[in-house]
């Protein structure tokens, strides 16, 4: 079911999520994340991933859909080096705003899949940025909180 995406300023976005529990039926949450992401894509022609807190679910789940879906349950991020990159970050929780932030250029994400099998991905560039952004949602951190300075905000159509 398509859920309402919480918008910037909603206090629930700033809360740290709890670990998802093995044995709990996560399928309804995952279906809601899928439906909500696909609906956002239709409306905005954008959106590659969504975190459970963005639909008001305080569990550590990220749903990513590129060519096929990937579900990250209780993910953990590691950074193999300190190299960073500067990016314009956008978010479904503030769809017309872009924020200039620094992210790690590379990361390793360790997580459980929907069968509770341990997985690991090594990411670089835009996918590393994407998963860092979504992971931040699990900790109650928004891109606006990572702005490189107080002039790092742009409305869509005003990016230079």
Task: Give residues with Cβ within 8 angstroms of 32, minimum separation 6.
Answer: 1, 2, 3, 55, 57
Which pLDDT does position 15 carry in this prediction? 98
Tens-digit pLDDT profile for residues 10-37 = 999 999 999 999 999 999 999 999 999 9
In a domain? residue 1: no
Q: Is 107 annotated as a binding residue?
A: no
Annotated active-site residue 134? The verdict is: yes
**Residue bearing the bigger pLDDT, 91 or 159:** 91
In a domain? residue 58: yes
Query: What's the whole-number mean pLDDT along residues 149-157?
Result: 91
Q: Is the pLDDT of residue 50 over 60?
A: yes
Q: Is the pLDDT of residue 159 over 70?
A: no
Tens-digit pLDDT profile for residues 103-147 = 999 999 999 999 999 999 999 999 999 999 999 999 999 999 999
Binned at pLDDT 50, 70 and 90, residue 158 comes out as low
Selected catalytic residue, list 59, 86, 134, 158: 134
pTM of whole model > 0.85?
yes
Binned at pLDDT 50, 70 and 90, residue 65 comes out as very high
In a domain? residue 160: no
Query: What's the whole-number mean pLDDT along residues 36-47?
Result: 95
In a domain? residue 146: yes
Domain residues for the domain of 134 are 11-155
How many distinct structural domains can be found in the chain? 1
Specify the CATH number for the domain of residue 46. 3.90.45.10
Which pLDDT does position 156 carry in this prediction? 84
Task: Give residues with Cβ within 8 angstroms of 67, minimum separation 6.
Answer: none
Can you spell out the DSSP letters for 121-144? EEEETHHHHHHHHHHHHHTT--GG
Q: Is 91 annotated as a binding residue?
A: yes
Q: Nearest 5°: phi and psi at 22?
A: -60, 140
Q: Is the pLDDT of residue 160 over 60?
A: no
């Amino acid at each position: 079911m398509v859920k309402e995406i919480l918008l910037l300023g909603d206090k629930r976005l700033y809360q740290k999520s709890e670990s998802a529990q093995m044995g709990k039926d996560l399928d309804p949450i995952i279906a809601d994340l899928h439906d909500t992401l696909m609906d956002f894509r239709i409306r905005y022609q954008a959106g590659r991933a969504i975190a459970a807190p963005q639909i008001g679910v305080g569990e550590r789940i990220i749903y990513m859909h590129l060519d096929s879906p990937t579900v990250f349950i209780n993910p953990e991020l590691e950074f193999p080096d300190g190299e960073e990159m500067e990016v314009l970050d956008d978010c479904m929780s503030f769809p017309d705003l872009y924020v200039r932030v620094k992210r790690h250029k590379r990361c390793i994400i360790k997580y459980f899949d929907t069968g509770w099998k341990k997985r690991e991905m090594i990411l670089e560039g835009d996918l590393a940025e994407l998963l860092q952004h979504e992971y931040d949602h699990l900790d109650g951190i928004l891109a606006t909180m990572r702005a490189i300075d107080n002039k790092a905000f742009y409305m869509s159509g005003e990016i230079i």
